[in-house]
A and B are shown apart, each in its own frame.
Chain A
């Protein structure tokens, strides 16, 4: 039976993983299951920037995917980046099975503020839905309330909603019901 897997990359406390799993189960008609945490791949670390290459983490997550994987979402506490960008909240293979989301910049502590568990929960759910949406073929949405709208800073994460808009939702439904004629 196929499943949507969630896997920690490096140390991640249990609560955020549970929140993300609950959000995924609410939106995707698939059993959601957790895999044992992965060790952070050594080559992912960029000492010059003190950050982690998201592409290397995506690769590690892909390698860990069981045969019955429909989608697999890596969750990490480290700060993600790619060579051209200063940081990423997450990254996904468009239409592909693998995505990763980082909690690092979703935490108030990152901005020198006191921890806020409720806020972290909201942000983690939004960004997990966002990256998983990409794996189901959704691209960025112009509806600023939709989880698929692009957030390039934390204020924009907070400004958007924790739901898909009707248009993105309809795309997902077509996808789930395996109707033909789907476009990405």
Chain B
């Protein structure tokens, strides 16, 4: 589930508060606003905000610095960002000395502020996750969602324990959704690096230049928007483990950079000329056949051999079907609690459906299917109809059985399933159902879109 961070904006100008709040809400944060320092302090006493944006110049008793000092007294952990105009930059620099984490000069460009917020929150998330996991590890060796009674998986977990305190690079292979990151975490948290950071980077999600600065950090002014020197994931993982997911997708340039880090344990920040040394264990993962990519000349062989010191292959879920009931039970319990819904279990029919399904998206798909089923579930127990989105792909091995439901409900489910398969695209869903768009509108109209 997405972690919802709370942010407080303190500014005497309403339009400033509201427009910035609206912008941050689009990013998924929960945002409150306060028109003055007194109100801000009151709110900070009642709720714990991850970030405070405070305008430097505010009329009345408390200016930005006073407000900041007061909030820091109540919430020493708070990250405070001072908002200032050009004319008052000197005072903002003063504010940094008093404990503000950053300042921004308005107007600043959207990328700068978005990077700033996500950088602060990533660090907070890391600190929080590591604190929670450390507590859990010290109690007992326990891997959340790594539940299994499959012999191959048990071998993998015991291998993970055996290699946990080595420094060797590990390459984890497996289709997407098989739990590669969980195995990487298991290795990290059962070894002698457990108390140090575990840092994750998804290499496929970013463009080459973004990934480069994500991994290695950058110097102030290295590119537009590089407002301050920033540490990359390798530095954040110092002493701990860096998990490089989807390693098969990185560009030749980054392959070369990565090879250098593995060989020499040092690198340069983007735009920097000073060598940075790190001690981070590298665990890489991929759903691609790296040996094949090497043969095709798309992946450097020297890097491949450096990464592939220890190789772990995780089987797809359809090859460990005996784990499905255990996983279902675990996800129902966990997700019902997170989503705040009362769901006690799953019907026999629904369980059979899950056991028969092929799970191309593996454990993650199972988790998502259960999350979605819990959301739609109406009577406290998951039914076959709550898994309607899966049914399309079922039935290769057995005839499809029409559920015992009113025609209108069958039609509704068929429409919802078609829309979901097309990511919500009405034109494509109508074409797949063999009806025209206006017919689809009419059929959907009885489930009038809420305003």
Contact = CB atoms under 8 A, between A and B. Distances in A.
Contacts of A142: 205
A183 B375 CA distance: 9
Contacts of A92: 22, 26
B426 A83 contact: no
A66 interface: no
A84 B104 contact: yes
B28 A140 contact: yes
Interface string A4-47: 00000000000000000000011111110000000000000000
Interface residues of B, number: 55
B423 A165 contact: yes
Contacts of A163: 423, 425
A106 B404 CA distance: 51
Contact of B26 (A2, A140, A178): A140
Given A55-B18, A97-B451, A144-B205, A81 B107 contact: yes
B426 A2 contact: no
B110 A169 contact: no
Q: What is the interface residue range for chain A against chain B?
A: 35 or more
B22 A28 contact: no
Interface in B24-47: 25-28
Contacts of B375: 174, 179, 181-183
Contacts, number: 168
> At the interface, is chain B mostly helix, strand, loop or mixed?
helix
A27 B424 contact: yes
A142 B448 CA distance: 29
A150 B107 contact: no
A143 interface: yes
B88 interface: no
Contacts of B376: 174, 179-181
Nearest to A182: B375
A172 interface: yes
A53 B437 contact: no
Nearest to A139: B28
B107 A152 contact: no
Interface string B93-122: 000000000001011111101100000000
Given A26-B425, A152-B111, A84 B106 contact: yes
Nearest to A152: B111
A93 B444 contact: no
A49 interface: yes
B87 interface: no
Nearest to B438: A31
A74 to B, nearest CB: 14
A102 interface: no
Given A2-B448, A176-B449, A93 B22 contact: yes
A168 interface: yes
Contact of B441 (A26, A31, A86, A159): A31
Contact of B448 (A54, A178, A179): A178
Given A139-B26, A170-B372, A175 B449 contact: yes
A173 B419 contact: yes
A183 B206 CA distance: 27
A46 to B, nearest CB: 10
A81 B106 CA distance: 11
Contacts of A85: 20, 23, 107-110, 113
B27 A25 contact: no
Nearest to B341: A181
B441 A27 contact: no
Contacts of A54: 19
B207 interface: yes
A166 to B, nearest CB: 5
Contacts of B83: 84
B411 to A, nearest CB: 11
Interface of A: 2, 25-31, 49, 53-55, 70, 81-88, 91-94, 97, 134, 139-140, 142-144, 150, 152-153, 159, 163-166, 168-183
Interface of B: 13, 15-16, 18-20, 22-23, 25-28, 83, 104, 106-111, 113-114, 205-207, 339, 341, 372, 374-378, 389, 412, 415-416, 419-420, 422-428, 437, 440-441, 444, 447-451
Given A29-B440, A144-B206, 12 more contacts: A27-B426, A30-B449, A83-B15, A83-B16, A84-B106, A84-B107, A152-B111, A159-B207, A170-B372, A176-B424, A178-B448, A178-B450
18 contacts: A25-B426, A29-B426, A29-B441, A55-B15, A82-B107, A83-B13, A84-B20, A85-B108, A85-B109, A86-B110, A91-B23, A91-B26, A163-B425, A168-B424, A169-B424, A171-B424, A173-B420, A181-B339
